[in-house]
Structure 1
Amino acid sequence: MTDGKIERVDEEQRVYSITWVVGLAFGLLIGVSMLLVLGLAVTANMRNTYSLLNDKAVLTTNALERRLRDHLDLASQAVVQLKTVFDERELDGHLEDLRAELTAAVYANPSLDALVVNDTAGDGFGIYRSPDGQLWPFRRQQIPEEAKLYALPNMTAASPATWGPLVTSGDVLYANVTVPLVRGGALVGFLTAAVSIEELGRTARQLDEGAYSTVFIIANGNEVIAHSDLEDFAAPGGEVPRLPVTVEALGDKALMRLSTSRPLENFQRASAAGVEVRDLESDDGEPDYLSMTKVIAGYGPGVWTVGQYYVASSISREVRRLFGSAVVGLVSIFVAIGLSVLLVRRATRPLAEISRQARFIGELDFDRVERLPRNRVREIDQVFQAFNAMVSGLRAMNTYVPRSLFRKLMRLGMDRAAVASERDLTFIFTDIVGFTSLSENLTAAETADVLNEHFALLVAAVEREGGTVDKFIGDGMLAFWGAPDERADHALAAARACLGIAAALRQENARARENGGKAVHVRIGLHTGRVVVGNVGALDRWNYTVVGDAVNLCERLQSFGREVAPRDEVVILASDTAVCRIQAQSGGMIAPGAALKVGTHRFRGRSEAIAVWRLDDTVEPENLCPAGSGLTLAG
């Protein structure tokens, strides 16, 4: 019996092996763990769903507000800008003298439908845009229908730009903004711009996301001036309601509940951004809605409300789909367990190579970056190809953006260094003398080679002294010192760069003469002045550059070189401002005779004459630094 019991135990031990038990336990552990993870994921996704709804409320409402402000602010900006011009003009009896200014302003600003000047006696003259886009002049008394495009608010000479009440003319709704016209401190008239609200209606329809959402704009608390689903409220005969219309007259039950509903409390981020999310519940079997609104003031006597409302069931469907995807995710997780190990192991091998290549990019050493090979894993291959495309783009960009400037901006921070500001800088302007005759016997390729070699010489001299190459203009170059990184000796560094250019140019010319080529003669202007430096351009195309009258003077100095020394190989002319700054920045120590005064001259575009100095380009650049005692300038 004992043996039999032992045998049965042995048989039971053979059936329930440790491998099977551990496998079952591990499977249960993995299953329970993944179920917990999936449950947490579903919970987190639900929170994320409502968080995204929170963000959607802010983004959607702000987008509508931004479109509204962009449309209307163009009109207020136009009248404010024109006010400074009109305040200096006589208005009594001469309103039509302003026709050119009004016409140009309306033509340049497509959002303006009318621009009108009224004197204090009520006489008005303006320009309006007809439905076919033509611009026509009109007088308030002669064409009263066009005068209905605007309404003058009560204003004083000190009043800011003021939006009047909305007006309707020819079934079109207009907003209008007025500024006072002042002369000698006294109010002499009004300048008014009228803007059609039809554009806001088109904007509402563009932002509408489909059958479950509606975009609207309400003015003065109860007047609907834009609605993306007007067709849903058409009369039995099919006539669409004409705006503006009250909420009650429109019959939009969701908007009717807007004033009586309370904001939801779990949308703190939206509330902090000024957006109210409300649950528009219905008691009569109608659908429930969720609204997102924002109140905007400043465009008329009352406040405006912009927003959007959704059918609440459309959001609950998203939640149900979330649970359905959880079931699919449960199956996918078990499949992913086995594949993830292989995929992770394969995915981690390329990371070290990407990291190594990225380090070269961080150092802007694009020449050391190697092209990443193709990979059989699609995601990794896409990353590799995107990385290669990024490197190609950076290399191409580095061809057009000076590497020294790019490094300076990256070191100082683009947000701070590239912002346009007014600063004292020193800049040089170069030009090749008689380049047209020099290149007339050259092919296009040969001309490009000559310019490329010449610009390489200039750029090397500029960057050697820490300068920034702004641009190449034909056969000339503009460079400056003191930005984006500030330096106290910018004038001295620019002077050394000029002398470096002269020395290098003489060597190149000597080599060219030995090889039977032609020598290049160059004029250089050097000036120190206050300019605007930073990003200048359009939204999608910026240029880090300098702008100001001082730059023009620098170019004038360069051009003046043809009169001072028309046959010299190199002529460097500097303003007295630059020379004095060189003296100050060198501590009063400069090589004797390094600058020669050539006289006082008056340049085109400037009312005052300036003293012009010629830098001696035979002085070694390193001598333009503290090396002696006293400053000797030949007079």
Structure 2
Amino acid sequence: MAVRQAILAAMRRVRKKKDRRPRSVRMAVLLSVVFGSLIAVAVSAGLTVAVLSNYRNTVSLLDDKAVLLMRAFEDGLSRHLDPSRQAVTRLAKLYRDSDLTIGGASMQSILMGALIGRPGVDVVLVYGPELNWSGVIRDTDGTIRRISDRAPLSKKVIAKLRGIKADDGTRWTDLLYIPSAHTVYTSIAAPLERGGRIDGYLVAAISTERLSELTRELAVAGATAFILDGNGRLIAHSDAAALNLDSLRDDGHPTVDPARAGDDVLASRDRWEPIDGFPKTHKAGITIAEFDVEDGRDGAGPGPPVIILTSQLAGFGPQDWTIGMHLSGSDISSEIRRLWGSAMVGLGALVVAVLLSFWLARRVARPLARVSLQASRIANLDIEDVDDLPPSRIREIDTTASAFNRMLEGLRAFTTYVPRSLVAKLVRSGMAETTRSREATLTIMFSDIVGFTTLSESLSVQETAALLNRHFQILVACVEAEGGTVDKFLGDGMLAFWGAPDQLDSHADAAVRTAIAIGRALRAENEESAARGDPVLRLRIGIHTGPVIVGNIGTYERVNYTIVGDNVNVCQRIEAEGKVLAPEAEVAILASADTVTALSVAPRSTFAGSRLLRGRMTPVDLYSIDPATPETDLRPGAAADRSTEAPPEAKKGGKAVDLAADRP
């Protein structure tokens, strides 16, 4: 696994050098972003236009509604207060053009008739030269009676009346408290002038109780109407009866402090938050504000905000009045909530559309993602992990899948006959340069099963094939673990080499470590085979180092990456010497002096003698390597360490010899 990971890492580095490509993005992500963006832009544009249009329409409707409400309130008040002005104006003119006397019976009769003819007026009073007064009053039950009071007026009322000039006409005065009626009135006064001399004053008044009833009539359903004086004190309230406002009034305080009235909204006027965005109300002088009930002075729990509409009403007092209504935000903002509800529905539709586009993009990209995944596995030479692509209803994708599956079938056949490790090395090293035939010094290994011909006679074809496959699997794993290349299988034998295509400085060490690893693996496999009752194997291994020709050998139609040369034959002859030098060994490993001389490791070995190999004119020194050599002797540099520790009398000849100290 470590070798495979190293090979794959090297292949990736080579590919990165050779094929530098711009940064890529997954097709599913690209299609999702493109489809999602297009849909999001289209739906968002339509939703934005619809929401903005609906918002403008809604705001315009609420704007118009607020203006209509306040104009109706203002007009209603003016319509009910004007009769007082008319009564005073006509009576003052009648006095001026007649010989009526203040306090006379005729005057009282005229006042009585004026009150009867003006049902919207509650009191008509005449103030004499001494500013004592008399007049007629309408009680709450509708009865009209005469009243008089010799008590002097308050200094404030006296100042207001005396401030009226002969040519001033009518003037609205401060609220008037009449003790005998225990009622506060809003009043309008005019001088009784004759011949340029002011003989007294005429006052017509409407009770604040009637004014509160009027505000209740003018308020829309669910709203609370109110009238404040210029100082923000309460004159009239649509819920005056429930709040018992009249009990809070007297001559010193004809108006009521909102904090005492029991209306939390008016009591928290400093906490009102103005609301902008209503141009018509702003132009009409109407203010829209919002108040959060949970901030009220009585600690009321959370609830919908209160919407307050206010405007200034001039001409009915020394200072402008503030008239207004406050109503639950759940009523006035219902249109806004419906607007936002439709916006949320549109937003939800947008989210669903984008999600559907992502799903569609993934569905479209999924077959291509499968192709990409399987192609990457092919690139990593993990052919056994590559799956066939399923058919598709989309013609182009189905054609691609069919072609891919045919290609995969060919690759599987190809990898059956061409070692994947060799292909990986060639790809990593560069095909053109590496496969060119050249001479190189390599370390070669040849292995052969002892007595396999006799053994195979007792086995079936399937058993023989299974035995060889399992055996070669062990050998190939050991070779690839040390970076070797398996050239070919020759019957029950295997030819492998080190140093090409990978450049290995210690290819002799790698070959010896491989042979020892094969010996250990074969011993373990034999123990398991014996336990199962299967045949056990004995193996001969020959190792030799020398120059050979390596590269592509063959024709265009059929070519092999292989090694040829005399040293290949030498290696095979060395392996065959095992029949004589170690006929009973479970694993016989023979190495030439050329290999031993190149070692930096120090395996346990015995000089096996000089042998004249078939086809050679000079003898070859051979060494028998112990497959049980410990790992500590196989580390690089172990031979140099052993050379300083070896006794000087160590010598060849059938004994274990320190190779570093006794190489020919």
Q: Higher Cα Rg: structure 1 or 2?
A: 2
Report if TM-score (shorter chain) is over 0.5: no
Higher RCO (C-alpha under 8 Å, 6+ residues apart) = 2
TM class by shorter chain equals 0.3 to 0.5
The two structures have a TM-score, normalised by structure 2, of 0.41
When normalised by structure 1's length, the TM-score is 0.43
